[in-house]
């Protein structure tokens, strides 16, 4: 399996901080929501597939400003965040209840 062709590269003058990542994607759709701390834009984007037989990865970016319009290619730095998610599940075979631990990840655009 080969890696996809890069859309863009992180400029040599920029350094990533811990918890940051550089991504390249194509914007699919966006919406604006109002929160207690002000408006936030939620942008759904697709990252390149690894090969012609794989599906592209779909992600959601959070930003304070609109980062583009549908079908725009976008590259930039995001802060990787997330919260823990815990819930109860019942094993169908044994009937035993167990606690499931997972996480909800978020990608917030680092805006200049």
- pLDDT, tens only, 16-34: 999 999 999 999 999 999 9
pLDDT tens string 54-107: 999 999 999 999 999 999 999 999 999 999 999 999 988 999 999 999 999 999
First to last CA, the chain: 35
Q: How far is CA 103 from CA 21, 30, 90, in A?
A: 18, 23, 19
Spatial separation of the C-alpha atoms in residues 24 and 2, rounded to whole Å: 17
Q: Domain 20-109: give its CATH code.
A: 2.40.50.140
Where are the domains positioned within the chain? Answer: 20-109
Residues 34-43: tens digit of each pLDDT: 999 999 999 9
Give the pLDDT confidence score for residue 101 in this predicted structure.
94
pLDDT at residue 47 greater than cutoff 60: yes
Predicted confidence (pLDDT) at residue 1 exceeds the cutoff of 60: no
What integer pLDDT is reported at residue 7 of this predicted model? 62
- pLDDT at position 4 is 58
């Amino acid at each position: 399996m080969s890696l996809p062709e890069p859309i863009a590269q992180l400029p040599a003058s920029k350094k990533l901080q811990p918890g940051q990542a550089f991504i390249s994607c194509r914007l699919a759709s966006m919406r604006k929501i109002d929160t207690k701390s002000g408006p936030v834009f939620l942008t759904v984007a697709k990252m390149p597939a690894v090969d012609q037989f794989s599906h592209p990865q779909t992600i959601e970016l959070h930003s304070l400003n609109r980062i583009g319009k549908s079908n725009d290619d976008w590259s930039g730095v995001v802060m990787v965040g997330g919260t823990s998610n815990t819930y109860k599940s019942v094993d169908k075979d044994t009937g035993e209840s167990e606690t499931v631990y997972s996480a909800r990840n978020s990608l917030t655009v680092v805006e200049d």
